[in-house]
Amino acid sequence: MDVKAKLRHTRLAPRKARLVADMIRGKNVNEAMNVLTFTRKKAARQIQQLLKSALANAEENHKVVDVDDMVVTKITVDEGVAWKRQMPRARGMSTMIKKRTSHITIVLNEK
């Protein structure tokens, strides 16, 4: 049974979030929590909260008895909308700054 959780419009660059997502893909939930706890990246904290949300969804909505047997089968980090800002430059010009956002989806499954 697939259990999903989504985090949309999070203020992380997708390229940076994918580095953390690749570390936990295919791992047991307990191993993934340990990896995320000791990873010193901003994305690790938000993905850890999303993983906890997916475990709560498994218990409440899907009536999974033992969530310790769950495995992170799929985690995707997609690009969201980019906030556009201007940075002043020389001679009265400006350049575009893109503040990127991410959509993170995590799918858990039993062994």
Task: Give the length of the chain.
Answer: 111
pLDDT of residue 64: 87
Query: The pTM is what?
Result: 0.90
Number of domains present in the structure of the chain: 1
Neighbours of 25 (CB within 10 A): 14
22: domain range?
3-110
17-49 confidence digits (pLDDT tens): 999 999 999 999 999 999 999 999 999 999 999
pLDDT of residue 1: 81
Cα 21 from Cα 35, distance rounded (Å): 11
Query: Is the predicted pLDDT of residue 103 greater than 90, yes or no?
Result: yes
Look up residue 34 and give its two tokens: 């340990």
Cα 83 to its chain centre, rounded Å, is 19
CATH number at residue 48: 3.90.470.10
